[in-house]
Amino acid sequence: MRAILEAAEQILADEPGASLERIAAAAGVARTTIHRRFANRQALIDALALSAARQLAQAIEDGRPDTAPPLVAMHRITVNVLQVKGAWTFALELPAEPDSEAAALHQDIDRRCVTVLKRAQDDKLIDETADLDWVRRVYYALLGESLHSNGDEADPDTLAVRIIDTLLHGAGPRA
């Protein structure tokens, strides 16, 4: 199953209309194997989206959002999320079907993000008047833009430092 999902991610990221036969070949399985596991192409895509959402949720959990100091949690989560998003670009860009498990996971991820930002706000890392939903959306935008960089900037730790620094301090001059 994992080989099929990984192959689907790689193939569909390059060619969203690729056939199940091409995905099967990349996974090293027969097309019939895919058909036994997935009723149709949409079922495969739904499974891909769910698998990626689960991995993203686990990446956040691995950052210890509730127990690590907020700045440490933000850094760990950012590194983890960059790694997952870099590996599952196609799947994580798919819109989740309303009322699906993937949609529920994404809602939980949003909630967890705001919780970490609230902890950072309580520690005076974020202004007490900041709209945390807006800060979350800016953070997501920084993550997305960071994934488009190349070269030395592709290191997740380096990118995480840049993202957190930009989120917390902006681009203005430093004292």
Q: Which residues contact 71 (CB under 8 A, 6 or more apart)?
A: 120, 123, 125, 164
Identify the residue whose tokens are 């959402």: 53
Residue 95's pLDDT is 85
CATH architecture of 1-37: Orthogonal Bundle (1.10)
Q: How many residues are present in the chain? A: 175
Per-residue pLDDT at 151: 46
pLDDT of residue 174: 74
**Contact call for residues 109 and 61 (beta carbons, < 8 A):** no
Given a cut of 80, whether residue 100 has pLDDT beyond it is yes
Task: Taking residues 119-144, report their average pLDDT.
Answer: 96
The verdict on pTM exceeding 0.85 is yes
The pLDDT tens digits for 147-168 are 876 544 578 999 999 999 999 9
Q: Reduced to 3 states, what is the DSSP secondary structure of residue 16?
A: coil
Identify the residue whose tokens are 């956040």: 60
Cα–Cα distance measured from residue 140 to residue 128, given in angstroms and rounded to the nearest whole number:
20
List pLDDT tens digits, range 25-75. Answer: 999 999 899 989 998 989 999 999 999 999 999 999 999 999 999 999 999
Mean pLDDT, to the nearest integer, of 17-21? 91
pLDDT-derived band at 97 (thresholds 50, 70, 90) equals confident
Distance (Å, whole) CA 61 – CA 41: 30
CA 86 to mean position of chain CA atoms? 8
**How far apart, in whole angstroms, are the C-alpha atoms of residue 11 and residue 2?**
14
Amino acid at 66: D
H helices of 70-131, in order, are 70-87, 89-93, 101-122
Domain ranges of the chain: 1-37, 50-169
Q: How far apart are CA 149 and CA 154, in angstroms?
A: 6
Tell me if the domain spanning 50-169 has CATH number 1.10.357.
Answer: yes
- Mean pLDDT estimate for the chain: 92
Instruction: Write the single-letter amino acid at 72.
Output: V
Q: Tell me the pLDDT tens digit for each residue of 110-129.
A: 999 999 999 999 999 999 99
CB 126 within 8 Å of CB 135: yes
